[in-house]
Chains A and B, each alone.
Chain A
């Protein structure tokens, strides 16, 4: 029961009192908000009390608030052993700084007569409680090492469970008594804020950093009624600056957001590693093909004769594909008389490559739109979508020594002599001169 009160009831009471109390006090008695400095009455000791305390507690507050409100970031930082060591030792150093400052402040409050004159009972309560709290914290840091790590699994989720209105007391049930006391003492301190001088921490004047040096307040209504121009000028400049700043900031954020969306839209969804590998492989293949093509072109540009096949490899029924001087596909056959027959394989209809096999009617088939071409004349059969014949290509025969034996132009004009015995050793070539003539 006590547990429930201390770890579920008290924190809520403290939080509600903190928020409600400070707002109520600010609205009803703003005059009472002050740092209540006593430097005027006593200066030398204050230096050694106030400065170490405020410095130390600033470091400690940061070290407590980051793990609570940015637990993910904190955990990722604490993975680093060196950083963890740094954080722990900084915390202990700050706690010692605080202890020193608080002790000096307490002694000063209790011994200096002039400071006593401005010391209220609440001042002493707060001072004592703070001293107690820092001692507990230091004790926890010493006795239960690596609080920066274990707190992320215990107190941080517990405090979040409080904030999310689902208090989970199991998280703190098994913590060491010193840690639990540290928590309870913190809740009491939070509870006391609206009733003590601690409210001055909400008055940290950060706005001073960017406010104009001089403050002039006009109270004369005529200035507003009769001098719209002057007022407008002053105000418009102020509003312009404010507006410009706001628009720039807002615009930057908006642009960043839109750009992010736009970029991801145009780049498409992110690919998995496998997909990326496949894509790259495909690209490589294409590049290889392009390179091959270029090599072929180059070959055709440089050579007057291009080797197609050995004559003996050629067959009358199934043609052999090759690339002609125009970089178009073509087919090579061997006719019944033992001589080669070269014909373009690019369909005259829409440019498909015709199939290499010859059917029973000695016709070639373009599979795209069923055009039949006569193998010898190249003429399309009636009813075919293609109307023009497939052109015949010229060829040359050379023996193994590179001696030109026979050549035939695209229109069947032959030059040279040959005998059948030689034919078996010959290679079939296409000739540039025929291309140029054609």
Chain B
């Protein structure tokens, strides 16, 4: 047993209102410099929709992630080792600016300088790359709330698994449904970006699993942009380096939640520590598609297990970290209650961020203006849901319907359980039956309810603010000067980033 710790996040999608506050918080902190304008380390997508960059889930085109070859070996879809060298000069699968959007601002000075006339002066949009006036044709969330749109929603790659009838149903004006999907870097346990980097600039931090780019080692070969199946590697066209979400490690190290987490209006995010067994990892990566979610759950270890805790301590994980793992809200959602699922596990990168699929667009029906909650059609209802189970399964369980249905049943059961308590219009016996069928005890239902609906920041963010200070203590040096820390931790920069000649 090789126990390692990993910082992880859960997104409770039922609570996401699609306000993009997280995206804006992230942009203001990290990606507002020249060359990074188009980067959205955190973005929120409307599903069904094409996402950002357009159709990023279509790996037939982008060739991201891993696949099993004939010998059942895990290989990068984007490149072989030798092929990586051949693709340095031109990478046919690299998304271009058109797949994202041309960043723009407005010439506000026009508002002041315009000569007096009959019309209101306007600020014309100008490109942030060329500085020239431009027509805005796309943006980072261009298909926001456009469910049912034939240009955007219909091109969602996840709809490929649906039959024609199911698609029709989904786009029926009367029953159009959608959900929001906030996305950041998944800090995968088997990151394809790291494996693809020719310069070896990308790395995973051993202590917490955060994936970072050493900006001084990066040579801008762009293989990572292609290899990341989530398209969360971004090429900075100004500095000639690749950048990515850093999980706000400078904040996390000092006990502050990441910017996206902290600003979340719907409080949908949970952050904590997971313990996993690195030895079991290889098998989990090679599991058949239908059992990928199960395999990934099996890699996670119970932090309350004494053996696990001992092995973790023996492996250099601090007691504080283990204590945090025992309190981890992420562990509860992912392993204990099995409510949270990885996004697109079929990319086989073992994404370490998890999503609780949304219940509302599944359960809600617009019949007489109120939500459907008849216990009689309780579970049969799932098959008639407005957002097809197949669609959710395509997103969160590599197409395995049973996994998604089990999650939905649990969420519904908790809802009925609480409704019976608060409104008292559901028969108690029925509630018992529902809980049993969802494999939940009343205590669990209560705990799920409490963590989902009531949890304050201290319960949603359970992280020890320690690693950085420890790292400094351990070395024989008064402080971690950039010169000494170079290549060890963080982005590896020793001076202000400036484009080379």
Interface residues of A (CB under 8 A from B): 29-43, 46-47, 50-51, 54, 113-114, 116-118, 120, 122, 195-197, 199-200, 203-209, 211, 213-227, 230
> In the complex where A29-B495, A39-B96, A41-B129 touch, is A218 in contact with B500 (Cβ < 8 A)?
no
Does B28 reach chain A (CB closer than 8 Å)?
Answer: no
> In the complex where A34-B220, A220-B206, A220-B467 touch, is A120 in contact with B501 (Cβ < 8 A)?
yes
Say yes or no: A205 contacts B199, CB within 8 Å: yes
Question: Within residues 206 to 224 of chain B, which ones have a CB less than 8 A from any CB in chain A?
Answer: 206-207, 215-222
Closest chain-A Cβ to B474's Cβ sits at a distance in Å of 2
Say yes or no: B89 contacts A51, CB within 8 Å: yes
Closest chain-B Cβ to A397's Cβ sits at a distance in Å of 95
Say yes or no: B219 contacts A200, CB within 8 Å: yes
CA distance in complex: A50, B221 (Å): 13
Say yes or no: B91 contacts A205, CB within 8 Å: no
Does B316 reach chain A (CB closer than 8 Å)?
Answer: yes
Smallest Cβ-Cβ distance to B466: which chain A residue: A220
Closest chain-A Cβ to B389's Cβ sits at a distance in Å of 34
CA distance in complex: A293, B61 (Å): 89
> In the complex where A36-B500, A195-B501 touch, is A41 in contact with B96 (Cβ < 8 A)?
yes
Say yes or no: A39 contacts B90, CB within 8 Å: yes
Given contacts A34-B219, A215-B204, 5 further A-B contacts (CB under 8 A): A32-B501, A33-B219, A37-B220, A39-B91, A218-B207
Question: Within residues 350 to 372 of chain B, which ones have a CB less than 8 A from any CB in chain A?
Answer: none
Interface residues of B (CB under 8 A from A): 2, 81-82, 84-85, 88-92, 94, 96-97, 129-132, 190-191, 194-195, 197-200, 202-207, 215-222, 235, 237-241, 314-316, 318, 467, 470-471, 473-475, 488-489, 493-495, 497-501
Say yes or no: A222 contacts B94, CB within 8 Å: no
Shortest 6 CB-CB distances between A and B: which pairs?
A221-B474, A32-B500, A223-B316, A205-B198, A34-B240, A218-B206
Say yes or no: A227 contacts B235, CB within 8 Å: no
Closest chain-B Cβ to A217's Cβ sits at a distance in Å of 5
Contacts of A218 in B (CB 8 A): 205-207, 316
Say yes or no: B198 contacts A223, CB within 8 Å: no
Say yes or no: B316 contacts A230, CB within 8 Å: yes
Contacts of A205 in B (CB 8 A): 84-85, 88, 198-200, 219, 221
Contacts of A219 in B (CB 8 A): 205-207, 467, 471, 488-489
Say yes or no: A215 contacts B500, CB within 8 Å: no
Q: Which of the residues A35, A113, A223 comes within 8 Å of B219, measured between beta carbons? A: A35
Smallest Cβ-Cβ distance to A196: which chain B residue: B501
Smallest Cβ-Cβ distance to B238: which chain A residue: A118
Say yes or no: A34 contacts B200, CB within 8 Å: no
Q: Which of the residues B88, B216, B221, B315 comes within 8 Å of A230, measured between beta carbons? A: B315
Say yes or no: B85 contacts A214, CB within 8 Å: no
> In the complex where A31-B493, A221-B470, A230-B315 touch, is A36 in contact with B96 (Cβ < 8 A)?
no
Say yes or no: B499 contacts A32, CB within 8 Å: yes
Smallest Cβ-Cβ distance to B236: which chain A residue: A40
Contacts of A34 in B (CB 8 A): 218-220, 239-241, 500
Smallest Cβ-Cβ distance to A47: which chain B residue: B90
Closest chain-B Cβ to A289's Cβ sits at a distance in Å of 66
Say yes or no: A216 contacts B204, CB within 8 Å: yes
Contacts of B82 in A (CB 8 A): 209
Contacts of B191 in A (CB 8 A): 214
Say yes or no: A220 contacts B474, CB within 8 Å: yes
CA distance in complex: A226, B317 (Å): 10
CA distance in complex: A396, B242 (Å): 113
> In the complex where A209-B81, A221-B471 touch, is A35 in contact with B315 (Cβ < 8 A)?
no
19 sample A-B contacts, Cβ–Cβ < 8 Å, listed by A number: A31-B498, A33-B500, A34-B218, A34-B239, A34-B241, A35-B220, A36-B500, A40-B97, A41-B96, A118-B238, A197-B501, A203-B199, A214-B190, A216-B205, A217-B204, A217-B489, A219-B488, A219-B489, A221-B471
Say yes or no: A41 contacts B200, CB within 8 Å: no
> In the complex where A114-B130, A230-B316 touch, is A214 in contact with B221 (Cβ < 8 A)?
no
Contacts of B222 in A (CB 8 A): 37, 39-40
Say yes or no: A41 contacts B470, CB within 8 Å: no
> In the complex where A114-B97, A114-B130, A203-B219 touch, is A50 in contact with B90 (Cβ < 8 A)?
yes
Closest chain-A Cβ to B38's Cβ sits at a distance in Å of 9
CA distance in complex: A216, B206 (Å): 6
Which of B89, B132, B218 has the most chain A CB atoms closer than 10 A to its own CB? B89
Say yes or no: B471 contacts A114, CB within 8 Å: no
